[in-house]
Amino acid sequence: MIALLQSLRIRGGIHVNEHKQATAGLPIDDSFPLPKRLYIPLQQHVGKPAEPVVRVGDTVFKGQLLAHSQGLISAPVHAPSSGTVADIAEYPAPHPSALPIRTVFLDTDGTDTVQSGESATDPFTLEPEEISLRVASAGVVGLGGATFPSAVKLNLGRQNKIHTLLINGGECEPYLTCDDRLMQENAAEIVDGIRIMLHGMETGRAMVGIEDNKPEALKAMRTAANFHPNIEICKIPTRYPMGWDRQLIRYLTGREVPAGGRATDVGVLMHNVATAYAIHQAIRYGRPLIDRVVTVAGGAVANPKNVRVPIGTLISEVLVFCGADKTRTGRWVMGGPMMGEALPFADVPVVKATSGVLALTGSEVKQGEEQPCIRCARCISVCPAGLLPVDMANRIRNNRLEAAVDIGLKDCISCGSCSYVCPSNIPLVHYFKFAAGELAARQQAKHKSEQTSKLIDERNKRMERIEKQKAEELAQARAAKEQSEKADTTI
């Protein structure tokens, strides 16, 4: 009966070709050679970029603070290895635009000399607020892809009296297995990180959702959580995009996050399993987030694997390490093929959000020629957000973006399910991404125009005040002069 109720909670979604078998059975490779130079972007998280605290020529240790957070929604950046700050300058971002962002260039010295960090032998003797402070100072962000500062979410959980911490171990994207391997090899550390998060949020219960195509991870996590009855390890169906927070919340708790609302509105907060591991490392050993496990796969990769690499390593170096053939690569992707970022070139750095690096062959990315819509409604049936993809696309084609917003454009998560099943090969998700970008640009232009108008109005009012003041001063001067002349005449 419970299984039936849960199956009814799954909205839309698709079964994709997983392509996970090449890496899921191999242990994490820790033998990646330290690069001679690391490129560490100061914007690796949601919010304001970090501000450098080092200067060109400074010698730094592994784990040392390179840039501090700015404001509440931000995260610091630390040195992934020891060496010398060679420059602080613009460098292409790991993004389809490859627009340059402020970056610290670190020439490593090969010694990997570590700066000892703050640690706690027993995290559960710390105040919950102290847990959040240490997580913030370690630069931990959401490693499921959102990169929202984790300390902010811990504080939100405490302030909103969250009753359930949800841990996403779904990893529903094709090719990606870094979370799977982390659960298989570091289940005890992940469970410890979950317990620390519960303590920091003052929440009594956690649920971990793991897709049923990861039996070894399920077994390892259940063994690790065996003596912690407040942590429930749950098997969930293998269906993309089960890793979406609203889908997972709906399936595991039966609660529906309202449109335009947040998970906290239904008493739930979600983190990723890799985030739990990073929090364990930060609190137990004082280790900041300076490396991560990355899945390297795709048809052009000779030795696909999960490899632990320092943040700031060029993706091109990671691909060379795994034997990628550049001549066979049709597309470089950071993340998964469904929601990841297609890169114009591979000489961009691994960042905190880099869960995967894919070198896909032409046959893997080939899409048929776009044909007219046949109104089959497959896109509607698979949309996890319950939207009308074909109707939104028609409005966008006709430049009726606001009309597309009216039927749910802003609720689209760009999962690509609609494009995947479309028999006419219509790139629906491309329309939605274009529209979202165009709306954001229009909003920025409107805001700029409003700000400009406001500045002009303020200037005009200021000039009016100045002119009025000058006129008053002139009138007073004339009156004084006339009074003086009158007095002279009387004498």
The tally of domains found in the chain comes to 3
- Within 8 A by CB and 6+ apart from 232, the residues are 205, 206, 207, 208, 225
- Encode pLDDT of 330-380 as tens digits: 999 999 999 999 999 999 999 999 999 999 998 898 777 889 999 999 999
Q: Is the pLDDT of residue 3 over 80?
A: no
pLDDT at 8 > cutoff 70: no
Question: At CA 44, angle to CA 320 and CA 238, rounded to 5?
Answer: 70
Q: Is 322 annotated as a binding residue?
A: no
Residues 144 and 282 in one domain: yes
| Cβ(267)–Cβ(138) below 8 Å | no
User: Is residue 412 part of an annotated ligand binding site?
Assistant: yes
Write down the pLDDT at residue 437: 81
pLDDT at 473 over 80: yes
Q: What angle is formed at CA 274 by the lines to CA 36 and CA 353, rounded to 5 degrees?
A: 55
Q: What is the DSSP letter of 398?
A: T
For residues 199 and 123, is the Cβ–Cβ distance under 8 A?
Answer: yes
- 383 known member of a binding site: yes
Q: Are residues 316 and 382 in the same domain?
A: no
Bond prior to 384 in cis (omega within 30° of 0): no
**401 residue type, one letter:** L
Domain membership flag for residue 170: yes
* Residue 204 and residue 278 in one domain: yes
- Domain carrying residue 421: 373-491
Q: Which of 141-155, 261-275, 450-464 has the lowest mean pLDDT?
A: 450-464
Is 464's pLDDT higher than 80? yes
319 with 379, same domain? no
User: Which residue type, as a one-letter code, is found at position 85?
Assistant: V
* Residue closest to 197 by CA, chosen among 153, 262, 228: 153
Q: Which residues contact 440 (CB under 8 A, 6 or more apart)?
A: none
178 is an annotated ligand-binding site residue: no
Residues 395 and 361 in one domain: no
443 and 471 in one domain? Answer: yes
Rounded (10°) CA dihedral 146, 148, 151, 153:
-80
Residue 410: inside a domain, yes or no?
Answer: yes
Co-location of 207 and 230 in the same domain: yes
Residues 183 and 214 grouped into a single domain: yes
pLDDT digits (tens, 9 = 90+) for 237-278: 999 999 888 999 999 999 998 877 888 899 999 999 999 999
Contact 179, 209 (CB under 8 A): no
For residues 452 and 484, membership in a common domain is answered with: yes
Q: What is the mean pLDDT of residues 145-166?
A: 91
Angle of the 273-285 helix axis to the 178-185 helix axis, nearest 10? 50
Of 287, 315, 343, the residue that ends a domain is: 287
Domain of residue 460, CATH code = 1.10.1060
- Does residue 304 share a domain with residue 164? no
Same domain for 20 and 157, yes or no, is yes
10 Å Cβ neighbour count for 106?
28
> Is it the case that residue 170 has pLDDT exceeding 60?
yes
234 annotated among ligand-binding-site residues: no
| Tokens found for residue 446 | 């409107």
Q: Give the H or E element holding residue 168.
A: strand 164-169
Decide which of 303, 332, 366 is a domain's last residue.
Answer: 366
Does the pLDDT at position 120 exceed 70?
no
Look at residue 452 in the predicted model and tell me its pLDDT: 86
Confidence of residue 5 (pLDDT cuts 50, 70, 90): very low
Pairing relation of β-strands 268-272 and 356-361? unpaired
pLDDT confidence of residue 488: 66
The string of pLDDT tens digits covering residues 44-98 is: 998 999 999 999 999 999 999 999 999 889 999 999 999 999 999 999 999 888 8
Choice among 103-107, 194-198, 217-221, 471-475 with the minimum mean pLDDT:
471-475
Do residues 359 and 319 lie in contact, with contact meaning Cβ atoms separated by under 8 Å?
Answer: yes
Please say which residue of 366, 396, 419 terminates a domain: 366
E-only strand ranges, 25-163: 37-41, 51-52, 59-60, 65-68, 77-78, 83-92, 100-108
Please tell me the predicted confidence (pLDDT) of residue 118: 64
* Residue 368 CA neighbour count, 13 Å, CB half: 11
Question: Which CA distances in Å does 479 have to 286, 310, 456, 466, 469?
Answer: 76, 78, 34, 20, 15
Residue 122: inside a domain: no
Inform me whether the pLDDT recorded for 422 exceeds 50. Answer: yes
120 class by beta-carbon count within 10 Å (0-12 exposed, 13-18 middle, 19+ buried): middle
| 418 annotated as belonging to a binding site for a ligand | yes
Same domain membership, residue 325 and residue 207: no
pLDDT value of residue 4: 44
Mean pLDDT for 228-239 is 96
> Which residues contact residue 215 at a Cβ distance below 8 angstroms, ignoring those fewer than 6 apart?
none
Give the Cα separation of 154 and 326 in Å (integer): 42
> What's the rounded Cα separation, in Å, for the pair 42 and 89?
10
> For the domain that residue 141 is a member of, what is the CATH number?
3.40.50.11540
Residue corresponding to tokens 């490593």 = 108
